Every structure is written in structure tokens, then in C-alpha cells.
Amino acid sequence: MLQSINSNSNIQIQNCIAGCRKSQKELYDAYSSKMFVVCLRYTKNQADAEDVLQDGFVKLFRNLDKYRGEGSFEGWIRRIFVNTAIEHIRKNKNNTNDISDMIENTIKDNYSNALDNLFEKDLHKITSTLSDGYKTVFNMYAIEGYSHKEIANFLGITESTSKSQFSRAKAILRTLLLGNNHTVSHHIAC
């Protein structure tokens, strides 16, 4: 099975590029569950996530020859799926701005430890309540590690809008977490 890319796996990549179905299936099997979680972070439901996953693998196989072996192969794949999810959001919604550039609020960053200690499934469950714009910016910044400048370029918004949406998303999540304090405390203690 293709778990990570090393010198031996370059042959499997070349086999995938050449159209070898067995190697393509191995690559799919190795990364589909991880990339499905990425897709779920950006979509509203499982059906949309499955669509993004399928589109992402189509793009992956079409562009596999562009992987140069620099950096993490999984990171390279993840970027394809994040970009695919963002394209899906753009297609399904004309405007990802939830906050106008003119109405930006600065939210104090208290209680950040509660967010830092959530398990992934808990984070997904609670972030799924956010609007698409907030959820997308939150996921890209807090989970995927994109800068606000990169997010702004991807989404066609200003850098300050990205920062504002991230702050608002954290504030909403904080409110939700404090309202569910007993549940969160249980998960943090485990």
C-alpha cells in the first residue's frame, strides 16, 4: 500500500501517471479517508464532500506528473483538495464574504485554549454550524495553515476581510463552546 512517498514510491507514482489502475487504487486507498476529512471541513454535508473528493482525485491524477518530489507528498495532495473545495464553494455561492469590508470588528481573543484542545471530530461538528465564509476562512487559517494573504488571494477578498472573518468565526465558536462547556470539558479531560 502507498502510505508515504519515498524513493520506492516514485515507481508507483510513475505507474499512476502511466495509467496503472492498481497503483491509482493504492494511492486512492492510502489518501481518500484523510482527504475526505479535508473535504468535509469545507462543505455543508457528506454528499458535497464526496463530490469534492471525487473532483479532487480527478485533478490529482491529471496533475500527478507535476509533483516534483519537493516537500511532503501528502501536503501537495492536501493543497489540491483544499483548492478543489474552495472552487466548489465559489461555484455554489457567488459571495463568500459574510462581513463587509466596511463593517469589521476586532474580537478579543480570550478562551482560545478551548479551541486548541478540541478533537478533530468535535471541531468539525462545531465548525459545521458556521456560515460558509466563516468556516472556510477558519479552516484555511487555523487548520490548513494558510496566511490571511493567501486566503484573500484564494477567495478573492481582502486580507483584512479574512482576518475579520477569522475573528468572528472564533468568537462564534467560543460562544458555542462556552454554551456547551460541560461537553467540551469532558472531551478536554479525556
Please say whether the beta carbons of 76 and 133 come within 8 A.
no
Instruction: Verify that 46 and 116 share a domain, yes or no.
Output: no
pLDDT band at 81 (very low <50, low <70, confident <90, very high): very high
**Domain boundaries, position 52:** 9-92
CATH number at residue 39: 1.10.1740.10
Last residue of a domain, which of 92, 121, 137?
92
Each residue's pLDDT tens digit, 162-179:
999 999 988 888 888 787
Kindly report the pTM of this predicted structure.
0.61
pLDDT higher for 98 or 78?
78
Residue 16 lies in a domain: yes
Other Cβ atoms less than 10 A from the Cβ of 113: the count is 8
Last residue of a domain, which of 58, 92, 126?
92
Instruction: Verify that 68 and 18 share a domain, yes or no.
Output: yes
pLDDT higher for 91 or 116?
91
- Number of domains making up the chain: 2
Instruction: Verify that 120 and 64 share a domain, yes or no.
Output: no
Helix axes 159-179, 181-189, angle to 10 degrees: 90
CATH number at residue 153: 1.10.10.10
Q: How far apart are CA 26 and CA 3, in angstroms?
A: 9
Residue 170 lies in a domain: yes
Instruction: Verify that 85 and 120 share a domain, yes or no.
Output: no
Q: How far apart are CA 141 and CA 112, in angstroms?
A: 14
Last residue of a domain, which of 33, 61, 92?
92
Instruction: Verify that 19 and 81 share a domain, yes or no.
Output: yes
Residue 98 lies in a domain: no
Q: What is the mean pLDDT of residues 135-142?
A: 88
